[in-house]
Structure 1
Amino acid sequence: MDSFFSLSKLFWFLARPDHLLVWMLLVGLFSLWAGWRRFGAVLLGCNLLLFLLFLLMPLGDALLMPLEKRFPQAEKTADVDGILVLGGGELAEESLFWGQPQLNQAAERLMIIPVLARQYPQAKIVFSGGSGSVLRPEFRGGDVASEYLDAVGLSDRVLIERHSRNTYENALNTIDSLEGVPKGRWLLVTSAFHMPRSIGVFRRQGWDLTPYPVDYRALSSDGARLDPGLWENLRDTETAMREWVGLVAYYLTNKTSQLFPAPLELKAPAN
């Protein structure tokens, strides 16, 4: 598992869209300097075209929409035995530095806990999130969640699992913390774009949870419309590409049950 974690981080450092633009620029300039003028010119031209596309168009929306629409929002019901929340919205290093919980764009994952705790007062709640960083593994999302939940008076209500480094470990460590796959209906709370891979991972472990997606990003499936904003468009494209690559990698390494998990079909009642 350690090799998979390290290799996945190395691959994404090289392949993420903003870094890819830098590599293309450097290789293109080097090619011109080395005398490979045609190759360098083509590479720099492609680099400029991609830069302009990211500057002007929300390409990430077209990639995010299929992920976010894969699982519908859960219907409200009183029959909930437990709630599992996956980390990802916590800024652990910033939280320690400033002495208060700091959250990123996925803050809805953590913010929804008080709402669900009030809506389902009898349900068990688990938060699973450690550190996905290779360089700073000591800063963990579970510690931020613990501080936040203590501030809103829920520290005694929520079990914190703080050792997971990725979605696969979320499943293994949570099941281990609960001493096996629990019975009953459990909600799985994570970002909408992350839900397909998460559901697939837990299904592989024999746990079929009810999706409760939050943190939607896409506004339209039309990535060809004009919406200038380099940083925002790059960010959303990176988020989507990381998730699509993660789906393929998890499927090829047998960590998820399907390449692109979907809602289970309801079986018709027997006559």
Structure 2
Amino acid sequence: MEFWFGKIFWAIFAPSHLAVLLLIAFGFLDFPGWMRSFFISFAAFFLWMMMIFPLGDWALLPLEQCEENVQLPLTVDGILVLGGILDEEPSVTSGDAQFNSAADRFIGMLRLMKNYPQAAVVYSGGSSSVKFPDFHEADAIQRVMDSIGIDSGRVIFENRARNTMENVERTQALFSAKPGQNWLVVTSAYHLPRALSLFRAVGQKTHTSFYPYATDFKSPQRFRPEFTFDLPNNLAKLDMAAKEYVALVFNRLVGRSHEFMPCGMKEERL
């Protein structure tokens, strides 16, 4: 139920969608003149600002730099890679895995597997698609590894998680098997605050510590007070950032996490 609610909510309230919906609603429906003028002007001004300024980069920057100064542990017991690196429809229709802009998570996994040969490795990813619910990303990644000669036998593939909370729920038995372990969470840099806040809240129960491994940075890692004239890219990045902030607030309000932004937190065993 929550999965579907999230899809419907974000289809309406993603900043780019909301701006267009406001333009349509107040442009064609019968609202009082002052109200119509106000909201049309507001939506048009928002789109104009997004065309000129890199608001998406500015919104992503705090998320991507949240965990940049955290020191990794000397001993790594497990590597947990979060899915979301394949374009589902092209992967299904072509019959072959089609990577998206988050593919650096896969590269990060391979790098960490080499650096920590004794660590357990878990890849968690099902289908986040409403159109292709039977697609299992983890299975597709396993086939990719086998096809290029990488030993997939070392990796535990969890193929049902549809979102970040389900990543936590469906891997909990694996990272909680031995209390007191250190695990690396591999995901996109902007997604790390949300993922870590959820994993750490659950990990406290088993004294499991989670550390960030950031991949595929989307922003230039510096504040840029400049004109960009790139509306599609700016809108996409703002939608991306807004989703993370909304999810961080929601998870904190419902008690799934113990902090809004876990920036620079040093894990302490309870």
Could you say whether these structures have the same fold, taking a TM-score greater than 0.5 normalized by the shorter chain as the test?
Answer: yes
Aligned residues of 1:59 and 1:223 also touching (Cα < 8 A): no
Give the Cα separation in 2 of the matches to 1:234 and 1:13: 14
* CA–CA separation in structure 2 for the residues paired with 1:57 and 1:235: 13
Aligned equivalent of 1:193: 190
Which residue of structure 1 lines up, in the alignment, with residue 11 of structure 2? 13
Secondary structure of the 1:262 match is coil
How many residues matched? 263
Aligned to 1:36: 32
Residue of structure 2 in register with 1:252 after alignment: 253
Q: 1:77 to 1:266 in 2, by over 3 A?
A: closer
| Preserved CA contact (<8 Å) 1:199 1:208 | no
CA distance in 2, matches of 1:192, 1:116: 16
Q: Say if 1:23 and 1:181 are closer, same or farther in 2 by CA, change over 3 A.
A: farther
1:170 aligned partner: 167
Residue 86 of structure 1: aligned partner: 82
| Distance of 1:212 and 1:94 partners within structure 2 | 28
Structure 2 residue identity aligned to 1:10 = I
Do 1:91 and 1:141's aligned partners in 2 also have CA atoms closer than 8 Å? Answer: no
How far has the Cα of 1:179 moved from its partner? 6.3
Structure 1 position 221, deviation (Å): 5.0
- Partner letter of residue 43 of structure 1? F
1:124 alignment partner in structure 2: 120
1:174 offset after TM fit, Å? Answer: 0.6
Q: 1:233 aligns to what?
A: 234
The answer to whether the 8 Å contact 2:190/2:241 transfers is yes
Q: Which runs of 5+ in 2 are unaligned?
A: none
The reply to whether residue 141 of structure 1 matches residue 142 of structure 2 is no
- Assess if the C-alpha contact under 8 Å between 2:69 and 2:264 holds in 1: no
Q: Which runs of 4+ in 1 moved over 4 A?
A: 73-78
Structure 1 residue ranges without an equivalent (≥5): none
Alpha carbons of structure 1 residues 15 and 228: separation in structure 2 relative to 1, 3 Å? same
Measured in 2, the distance between the counterparts of 1:69 and 1:46 equals 31
Q: Distance in 1 between matches of 2:93 and 2:18?
A: 31
Report Cα offsets for 1:96-142 as digits up to 9, x if no partner: 32232211111111122222111222211110111122332112321
The aligned amino acid for 1:180 is A
- Greater shift, 237-246 or 66-75, is seen at 66-75
Q: Deviations over 1:21-72 (max 9, x none)?
A: 22111112124xx262221122111121111111111101111111111102
Percent identity, aligned pairs only, is 33
Q: Is the 8 A contact 1:175 1:181 kept in 2?
A: no
